[in-house]
Structure 1
């Protein structure tokens, strides 16, 4: 669960973690707190820093555990910092979580390679369902444009770290 700053607001710095298998099947999770007009909101693991001094890597480890039950520390070589960030406008229905003057979030990208068949345990407060999809299909299903783009970039990053994945 994302923690709030001392002022009661979320920090507008977050991570996006594309969890995938060596065959580039991507884990997508369905949000539970979307507005009625957007009931089919699928995404990768995302989450804000708990405190301003928390590193993006620490945020990624924590959010993967909280949202999927996957202990990313079991595959320490599998977590990859892509060195990329997206800055995007926060959707209006989630803006109340941030200080009144905050309209944009900075999102740092990671991927995590896990073995096929890795068990997933969702936090029911945050997510309703999960599914594994080939990377191209995952990109088509993602509600967030930055998440879809990350899925499309996955083969390049998986290949650049020693061929963890295979192109399809």
Structure 2
């Protein structure tokens, strides 16, 4: 039996200098578009390590810390886990804490999806991407992208 998922995860918004955002379609729920997401593998796994691992597993993008740099927004969302996915968590667990990261990549970055997890990907202007996200916290993160970039600059 698979161990229960840890109810602490990362959301990684992938974008280009032109503010196009990469969205990926879930294999287990066609029509559900999202940014990279994933749970910690261990309670003590550092969030940056979780984000780096999930980014690579789901897109093939390597955050090397030099050319491709993950940025922790210092933002955490607590949300109700959709009932359809609660069986993945320990009995009684109904909420997840999601930590938001972003990463800027060149538009021509090769994307290699995990076929087990995702069907296809699309680059969309940030407002269109926010509209396509099925998760409210993911949509909100995409909408916050321009303000987050101003904070950085």
Q: Compute the RMSD of aligned alpha carbons.
A: 1.5
Distance change (3 Å), C-alpha of 1:41 and 1:18: same
Q: Which residue of 44, 49, 57 corresponds with 1:53? A: 44
1:76-87 superposed matches below 5 A: 78-87=69-78
Distance change (3 Å), C-alpha of 1:77 and 1:31: closer
Quote the residue 1:144 is aligned against: 135
CA distance in 1, matches of 2:125, 2:3: 39
Q: TM-score, normalised by structure 1?
A: 0.87
CA distance in 2, matches of 1:62, 1:148: 22
CA contact (8 A) 1:75 1:114 kept: no
Quote the residue 2:95 is aligned against: 104
Paired residues, number: 153
Quote the residue 2:86 is aligned against: 95
CA distance in 1, matches of 2:34, 2:64: 22
Please, which runs of 5 or more residues in structure 2 have no aligned partner? none
Please, which runs of 5 or more residues in structure 1 have no aligned partner? 1-5, 163-168
Q: Displaced runs of 4+ in structure 1, greater than 2 A?
A: 74-78
1:33-72 superposed matches below 5 A: 33-34=28-29, 39-72=30-63
> What's the secondary structure of 1:10's corresponding residue?
coil
CA contact (8 A) 2:68 2:105 kept: no
Query: After superposition, what is the alpha-carbon deviation per residue over 1:14-53, rounded to whole angstroms, capped at 9, x for unaligned?
Result: 000000011111000000012xxxx310000000000000
Deviation at 1:88, TM superposition (A): 0.4
